[in-house]
Amino acid sequence: MGVLMSKRQTVEQVQKEVQEEKDPEAGTAVVQEDSSLHRAAWERLRDGRGIEPEEFDKTSRFTPPAFVRPTRKLDDDKPPDICLEPREPVINDEMCDICEVWTAESLFPCRVCTRVFHDGCLRRMGYIQGDSSAEVTEMAHTETGWSCHYCDNLNLLLTEEEMYSLTETFQRCKVIPDCSLTLEDFVRYRHQAAKRGDSNRALSDAQEEQAARQFAALDPEHCGHVEWPDFLSHESLLLLQQLRPQNSLLRLLTVKERERARAAFLARGSGSAISETECRRAQHSWFCRRLSEAPSCSVSISHVGPMADSSPASSSSKSQDKALLPAEQEARSVDWPTFLRENAIYILAARPNSAAIHLKPPG
């Protein structure tokens, strides 16, 4: 067991004291109601005893976090300074992002950001339900990793203006939110979105085939439909790719993602550049996840880089890479800045826990 360490409790205590000054009678009632709870907490703190997540019974204080959509800065399109060397240190948070309490129990780290979570807190907030708790436990401590509810939803990367544009497109194309889409629905939507007010303009035969391939990538289990979260993430990525310059996309990458990209580049190249084929292979490798026999890691996920070429995950994907890549290697060499820019959108697309490929790489 660990020691109770909650920033939220401190804030709430200050708020109560301010309320007591404004309304002494109400303040007295609140203090009497919570006196036993606070006394028990102080006794645990004094004696060096902690609490487990399931013992932290304050359901009324567990409210969904208020999310504010990001805004783009004036220098958003300028090249960020992301060097190949030296490597960036990656350190996970120490306290659960939901309850802001540290315990000695296992914390589930996000593979994208530095947040960590208790499984009990995730269940209490409804972020994991039923059998998915065991799946989260298994995935969070493998090389594949697990994405938290912030990173799993790619739509949260859009600004207010970008979200308005996407919503307007959905309304114009008569897309019903929270509903799955069949192949016919998906292709019809792509046709309508391509017209943009011009009735004579639609998808070509090649573009329609590409849309069908993307649908298949979004439906890897061949269920015949694409779930709404996967469709929303895919459309959000397309909008980011359309409206944002590559330098802006680079600024969306987290420290963990940049470190994973560095490891992939250094593993595939010799020196300061890699081949075009290796760059394309890297684009496909971001989606090698949800393996049935993913090896467990004995270290924190924050210190785990991309799958090494000798790992079972990498070896199982090499045959798939060969099928996806052209037979002849292209002569173009790719340096580190170019590699990072061309892979940024695919690194973002690999964030969700879903097995769907939200943006199928070419080749």
Going by C-alpha positions, the residue among 271, 234, 75 that lies closest to residue 157 is 234
Answer yes or no: are the C-beta atoms of 258 and 88 closer than 8 Å.
Answer: yes
Going by C-alpha positions, the residue among 257, 256, 274 that lies closest to residue 265 is 274
Give the burial string for 277-308 (b: 16+ CB within 10 Å, else e): bbbbbbbbbbbbbeeeebeeeeeebbebbbbe
pLDDT tens string, the chain, 363 residues long: the values are: 333 444 455 445 545 554 555 555 555 554 555 566 555 655 554 444 444 444 544 444 444 455 678 888 888 888 888 888 888 888 888 888 888 887 766 788 899 999 998 888 888 888 877 666 677 767 777 777 889 988 998 999 999 999 999 989 998 888 888 889 999 999 999 988 887 655 555 778 888 899 999 999 999 999 999 999 999 999 999 999 999 999 999 999 999 999 999 988 988 877 788 888 888 888 888 886 543 333 333 223 333 333 334 333 344 344 444 444 444 445 778 889 999 999 999 999 999 988 889 988 876
Give the burial string for 24-42 (b: 16+ CB within 10 Å, else e): eeebeeeeeeeeeeeeeee
DSSP string, 4-42: ---HHHHHHHHHHHHHHHH-HHHHHHHHHHHHHHHHHHH
The residue count for the chain: 363
Give the burial string for 95-129 (b: 16+ CB within 10 Å, else e): bbbbbbbbbebebbbbbbbbbbbbbbbbbbbebbe
Kindly state the helix (H) or strand (E) to which residue 277 belongs, with its residue range.
helix 276-285
Half-sphere exposure of 65 (CA within 13 A, CB side): 13
Answer yes or no: are the C-beta atoms of 94 and 264 closer than 8 Å.
Answer: no
Q: Is the peptide bond prior to 337 cis by the omega test (within 30 degrees of 0)?
A: no
